[in-house]
Amino acid sequence: MEEPEAAALAQYDDFHTIDWVRDRQRDRVRFRRMRRMKRGSIWERIKQANDAWGGWLVVLLVGLSAGLSAGVIDVGASWMTDLKRGICPQNLWFNEESCCWSDDNTFADVGCQQWKTWGEIFIGESEGVGVYLMNYIIYVLTALGFAGLAVVLVRWIAPYACGSGIPEIKTILSGFIIHGYLGKLTLIVKSMSMMLAVAAGLSLGKEGPLVHVACCCGNFFSYVFAKYHRNEAKKREVLSAAAAAGVSVAFGAPIGGVLFSLEEVSYYFPMKTLWRAFFCAMIAAFTLKYMNPYGTGNLVMFYVEYDTPWKLFELLPFVLLGALGGLIGAVFIKANLWWCKKRKNSRFGNFSIAEVLLVTLITALIAFPNPYTRQSSSVLIQHLFRQCGPDDGSSLCDYIDNNRTINVNNPHYPGAEAGPGVLKAVWQLLLAALFKLIITVFTFGIKVPAGLFIPSMAIGACIGRIIGIGVEQLAVSNPEWLVFSSSCGNSISNCVTPGLYAMVGAAAVLGGVTKMTVSLVVIMFELTGGLTYIVPLMVAIMTSKWVGDAFIKEGIYDGHIHLNGYPFLDNKEEFTHTTQASDVMRPRKHDPALSCITQDEFTVGDLEQLLDETEFKGFPVIVDKESQRLVGFVLRRDLKIALRHARIRNEEIVSASKVYFTEQSTRYATPGQAAPLTLRHILDMSPIQITDATPMETVVELFRRVGLRQTLVTHNGRLLGIITKKDVLRHIATLANQDPESILFS
């Protein structure tokens, strides 16, 4: 069976699991054939070289396309976000920052003159109640317009473009097939609607969806090379590298992207995939840096410029931030899963456009009055990470710097005490964190591209900045305390860095929501450039995970995988029950007998009838029904294609033709009988099989480590039943007193 049938047999039906073992075997056969070409003609040697460097070429193309897509999305989202608040009349394609950089008066006392708010354009004034109301109204209407267009694109053109995409990517990388989820139309619509959703001011981020976009690029370029196009297991190596590139361009963290792909989303990650993922993430980061979407020369907006060493006494507030992050993450996961389950089981889920518009309206109406929720979450995080100083222009630092009172009686610190501006800033930060936590519960899951990284970081940064300000004020008010005098000495003014607390808080909440650990630490220090603060980040993230796991074990992405009923077998969960394979295998006591094929008794008509009457994805082949001795396993799709091709190629093959799966390569028809058909070439002679007494703990590990689609259960060589991946998942759910609500389990 060579090329024509090999291409067809490589395909899988929608919403089914791939056969990792079979696909790896096919790749080994292809590899041996390519090695033999080294001794062939010049053309065969060229084909062998093309196959050898094809893997590096495809990840190069994926990295370039992921970086280019991320740059375009960043620039477009930034421009449309600022469009809600105003416009640059002389350069309509400039956002506020670019417009002000082009203004010669920006650094003069008059400030930026080229950027105009909508109130200034329509009313002609810069202040007043009318100007405020005009800006408010246009802010809300523009947000509704952007969100409405985004949900219409998703609902009517590409339904798979909604959500974060990471739960589905994890499921696809585990071997599940979702046709169209990584298609070209999904890529285009996801990119456009992502910009619109972010610009609408919804409490979501584009970082998670960028992983989906990068994987769409990986799926597209994998079709260029036959060894990836025809082999789903090989294609997942490209998708793992693409996921790393997605995180690389989302956060400017190529190393963190590789670790994220390894820790969080990938199911099969061999060493060569690690190298190619690293290369792909590096190329994506280089491409994004060359595009320079932020105009700063940095890959990210959150780069910190302070390097004040952290003090030992600060470990206590860092642990506190970690505990708060774990609690907030647990509350968010439980609340969001409850709401998504309620939406899924009610008629409200049918009104996705109305839901998006309602969430957008509530978000815009409440967000505008608070300066910390009015701006985008990315800009808010950027401001919260800063260290306030006289040259800092952020609104947070304006409140603090402009409302400090000089403590002339304190010889240790002629600095600042908390003024009314500080208290106002703290109060608004607290309200912003509470509002973002509540609104994100209802936002994550609506029918627009919605990531969780940035909203989670924004919530944590608000909480962290509040605690940082509190510790700073405590040190300022009590410099004589031993804990402060021994650690800070005479430099009490630079003893505490509130921006560091915002950074740690952001990592703590993000870790509490996603349950990420090692990859999150690396992402955070690459994201901020704060290599000095790895230990505080590690302490907060581990505390967050410990506290969060006390309330709920699964992260938000695993929760949505289970909610949607995807057949995902988590390789991080432990199976400790004492059941055996005989407790899980089918058929059970009251089930019909297992559908089997004998090696030399079936006719072509019998097999075609079996295919018509059953929906099983494969059939065991046995010696005869009396002995039930196992010979091998044949897949439904292989059998169906082989029968069809046999009828087309040989007119003597009819319904009465005998079908043989034996070792004899040819058989001759006796006089008066139809021509026989030999199908041994499609028979798997070495299917994975276990005994009925095998502990289910071992069976689960086999499915996880080997990537089985099914395994046969035997006793002394006699076939008893079969266990599929969905049988294992159903068994685990039953033991955990869960009731899977997806048709995928039925």
SS (H, E, C) 236-270: HHHHHHHHHHHHHHHHCCHHHHHHHHHHHHCCCCC
Q: How confident is the model at residue 231 (pLDDT cuts 50, 70, 90)?
A: confident
Q: How confident is the model at residue 266 (pLDDT cuts 50, 70, 90)?
A: confident
Higher-pLDDT residue of 620, 93: 620
Q: For residue 551, give every residue at least 6 positions away whose Cβ sits within 8 Å of its Cβ, in sequence order, or none.
A: 326, 327, 330, 334
Taking 50 as the threshold, does the pLDDT of residue 409 lie above it? no
Mean pLDDT, rounded, of the chain: 83
CA distance 481 to 492: 11
Q: For residue 46, give every residue at least 6 positions away whose Cβ sits within 8 Å of its Cβ, in sequence order, or none.
A: none
As to burial, measured by CB atoms within 10 angstroms (0-12 exposed, 13-18 middle, 19+ buried), residue 154 is buried
Query: Which tokens belong to 657?
Result: 């033709």
Work out whether the CA dihedral 342, 348, 351, 353 comes out positive or negative: negative
Looking at mean pLDDT, say which of 21-25, 327-331, 587-591 comes out highest.
Answer: 327-331
Q: What is the arrangement of strands in the sheet containing 597-598, beginning at the earlier edge strand?
A: 597-598, 618-622, 630-635
State residue 280's pLDDT score.
96
CATH fourth-level superfamily of 312-556 = Clc chloride channel (1.10.3080.10)
Domain-by-domain residue ranges, the chain? 4-17+42-291, 312-556, 581-736
Q: Are strands 659-660 and 710-715 parallel, antiparallel or unpaired?
A: unpaired
State residue 571's pLDDT score.
76
State residue 452's pLDDT score.
92
CB atoms within 10 A of CB 72: 14
Q: How confident is the model at residue 392 (pLDDT cuts 50, 70, 90)?
A: very low
Taking 70 as the threshold, does the pLDDT of residue 418 lie above it? no
Q: How far is CA 188 from each of CA 78, 222, 352, rounded to the nearest angstrom?
A: 18, 17, 20
Backbone angles phi, psi at 628, to 5 degrees: 60, 25
State residue 707's pLDDT score.
83
Give the tens place of pLDDT for each residue, 168-189: 999 999 888 899 899 999 999 9
State residue 447's pLDDT score.
92
Give the tens place of pLDDT for each residue, 422-453: 777 888 899 999 999 999 999 998 999 999 99
CB atoms within 10 A of CB 354: 11
State residue 100's pLDDT score.
78
DSSP letter (8 states) at residue 38: G
CA distance 468 to 463: 9
Backbone angles phi, psi at 689, to 5 degrees: -140, 150
Q: How confident is the model at residue 416 (pLDDT cuts 50, 70, 90)?
A: very low
Q: How confident is the model at residue 670 (pLDDT cuts 50, 70, 90)?
A: low
Give the tens place of pLDDT for each residue, 108-124: 445 577 888 888 888 87
As to burial, measured by CB atoms within 10 angstroms (0-12 exposed, 13-18 middle, 19+ buried), residue 336 is buried
Looking at mean pLDDT, say which of 48-57, 246-255, 414-423, 489-498 comes out highest.
Answer: 246-255
Q: How far is CA 539 from each of CA 97, 130, 384, 544, rounded to the nearest angstrom?
A: 36, 49, 20, 8
Buried b / exposed e along 232-262 (16+ C-beta atoms within 10 A): bbbbbbbbbbbbbbbbbbbbbbbbbbbbbbb
For residues 167 and 329, the answer to whether their CB atoms sit within 8 Å is: no
Fold of 4-17+42-291: Clc chloride channel (1.10.3080)
C-alpha triplet 739, 744, 746: angle, nearest 5° = 65
Taking 80 as the threshold, does the pLDDT of residue 338 lie above it? yes
State residue 430's pLDDT score.
92
C-alpha triplet 649, 651, 656: angle, nearest 5° = 115
State residue 104's pLDDT score.
58
Among the four given CATH numbers 3.10.580.20, 3.90.700.10, 1.10.3720.10, 3.40.50.300, the one describing domain 581-736: 3.10.580.20
Q: Which of 108-117, 277-286, 333-342 has the lowest mean pLDDT?
A: 108-117
Q: Which of 29-38, 649-658, 735-744 has the lowest mean pLDDT?
A: 735-744
Q: Do domains 4-17+42-291 and 312-556 have the same CATH topology?
A: yes
As to burial, measured by CB atoms within 10 angstroms (0-12 exposed, 13-18 middle, 19+ buried), residue 489 is exposed
Q: What is the mean pLDDT of residues 355-383?
A: 89
Residue 568 corresponds to which amino acid? F
Buried b / exposed e along 495-506 (16+ C-beta atoms within 10 A): bbbbbbbbbbbb
Q: How confident is the model at residue 6 (pLDDT cuts 50, 70, 90)?
A: very low
Q: How confident is the model at residue 535 (pLDDT cuts 50, 70, 90)?
A: very high
State residue 600's pLDDT score.
86
Q: How confident is the model at residue 390 (pLDDT cuts 50, 70, 90)?
A: very low
State residue 415's pLDDT score.
40
State residue 10's pLDDT score.
44
State residue 461's pLDDT score.
94
Give the tens place of pLDDT for each residue, 301-326: 677 777 778 888 889 999 999 999 99
CA distance 441 to 240: 29
Q: H or E element: which one contains 100?
A: helix 96-101
Higher-pLDDT residue of 396, 455: 455
Give the tens place of pLDDT for each residue, 506-515: 999 999 999 9
Helix-strand-coil split of the chain, %, nearest 5: 60, 5, 30
Closest CA to 19 of 714, 711, 730: 711
Q: How confident is the model at residue 11 (pLDDT cuts 50, 70, 90)?
A: low
For residues 634 and 661, the answer to whether their CB atoms sit within 8 Å is: yes
Taking 50 as the threshold, does the pLDDT of residue 582 lie above it? yes
